[in-house]
């Protein structure tokens, strides 16, 4: 298995992402929107992805081999220290969209990562 990409533990849960530029723009939109009181806004790109899909996409984009997912292989350091598995979450950003007029520039983690990777490679 030397040189292979092996991912242990569960990888089928949904994860929400947000590009840093979109986070900054959401904060700016909240600041410019006028008084919002103690309102809470969830800020995400609105398109959670499964961890295994993100890993496969990243490996392909970087020209690496097909990753191996093994539920019985050791998971990351947090899990080895007794951490809990990550639950699936779909974080709704509708309030920010409707009340702040904010829209993410990057519609998904794949779009944001593509721009970053293309800049670095």
| CATH code for the domain in which residue 53 is found | 3.40.50.720
The rounded percent of the chain whose pLDDT value lies above 90 is 52
Beta carbons of 51 and 98 less than 8 angstroms apart: no
Specify the higher pLDDT residue, 62 or 76: 62
Rounded to whole angstroms, the Cα distance separating 26 from 36 reads 13
Domain count, the chain: 1
pTM: 0.76
When pLDDT is averaged across residues 52-80 and rounded to a whole number, the result is: 82
Residue 14 lies in a domain: yes
Mean of all residue pLDDT scores within the chain? 86
Residue 98 pLDDT:
95
Residue 1 lies in a domain: no
Residue 95 lies in a domain: yes
Q: Which domain range does residue 20 map to?
A: 6-120
Residue 82 lies in a domain: yes
Q: How many CB atoms lie within 10 A of CB 67?
A: 16
Rounded to whole angstroms, the Cα distance separating 115 from 105 reads 12
Tens of pLDDT along 68-112? Answer: 888 887 766 655 555 556 677 889 999 999 999 999 999 999 999
């Amino acid at each position: 298995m030397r040189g292979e990409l092996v991912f242990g533990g569960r990888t089928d849960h949904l994860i929400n992402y947000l590009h840093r530029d979109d986070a900054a723009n959401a904060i700016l939109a909240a600041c410019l929107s006028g008084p919002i009181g103690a309102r809470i806004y969830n800020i995400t790109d609105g398109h959670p992805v499964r961890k295994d899909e993100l890993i496969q996409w990243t490996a392909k984009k970087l020209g690496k081999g097909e990753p191996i997912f093994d539920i019985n292989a050791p998971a990351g350091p947090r899990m080895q220290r007794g951490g809990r598995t990550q639950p699936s979450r779909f974080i709704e950003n509708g309030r920010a969209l409707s009340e702040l007029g904010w829209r993410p520039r990057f519609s998904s983690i794949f779009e944001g990562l593509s721009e970053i990777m293309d800049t670095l490679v």
